[in-house]
A and B are shown apart, each in its own frame.
Chain A
């Protein structure tokens, strides 16, 4: 199971309703997110993260940070207050374009698109902090696990990666359960969502 479907969905959302795609508050569907409120959510989240890091004595140099699955830059824009430079990376070019429009600190923040199942666009040991929240849950298991391995490759020796995943039963590539997972996720789900009139 690859990333093509993920990219298709978020390219479409990036054009139609990028903030709702990132924070799915149904009352704000259809472009009703106020950007000020949207980015305030990001600052609140990063405040909680920095408090967690402080409380657990998880320290690292505050130089280079990566926001993996940056979307419109909700968290990227909050991270730059804590680092010399922040990179936001997303699978969707339309999301990256929206993020660039909302970039309040172009001297400290850059956005890049990556639709490959790896992070080869970044050199080994490039980042002090890699952060990812509510992103890997949209990525099929095989590439999601590969990205986690990539987080470690691009992490500097004293760095830290902090990432969230949804936990479920183990599904190994090539197994019968992987085949059934793919059928359910890729085919049956698309049929169901088309019936409901949503983006498959």
Chain B
């Protein structure tokens, strides 16, 4: 299992000319969160 920081996702999306329109917490396990991002072009 690999992890990324939420801030890194936000930075990559912005750098690629996108915007995050929604984030859903998909966590089912206790050893780390799981997020689902909905993104569009800015």
Contacts and interface: CB of A to CB of B under 8 A. Distances in A.
Interface in A122-160: 133, 136-141, 144-146, 148-153, 155, 157-160
B21 A170 contact: no
A159 B4 contact: no
Interface string B2-24: 11111111001101111001101
Contact of A149 (B6, B16, B21, B36): B16
Contacts of B39: 151-152, 160-163
Between B8, B24, B35, the greatest number of chain A beta carbons within 10 A of the residue's beta carbon is seen for B8
A104 B4 CA distance: 35
* Interface-centre pick from B4, B5, B18 (highest chain A CB count, 10 A): B4
Interface string A154-184: 0101111111111111110000000000000
B3 A145 contact: no
Contact of A167 (B12, B13, B21, B33): B33
B36 A166 contact: no
Contact of A171 (B5, B13, B18): B5
Interface residues of B, number: 29
A166 B29 CA distance: 10
Contacts, number: 108
A52 interface: yes
B41 A165 contact: no
A133 B28 CA distance: 14
Interface in A40-83: 52, 56, 58
Nearest to A171: B5
B41 A159 contact: yes
Contacts of B36: 133, 162-164
A170 B6 CA distance: 8
A91 B26 CA distance: 24
Interface of B: 1-9, 12-13, 15-18, 21-22, 24, 26, 32-41
23 contacts: A52-B24, A56-B38, A58-B21, A133-B36, A138-B1, A139-B2, A140-B2, A152-B16, A152-B39, A152-B41, A158-B40, A162-B36, A162-B37, A162-B38, A164-B26, A165-B3, A165-B4, A165-B35, A165-B37, A166-B33, A167-B3, A167-B6, A167-B35
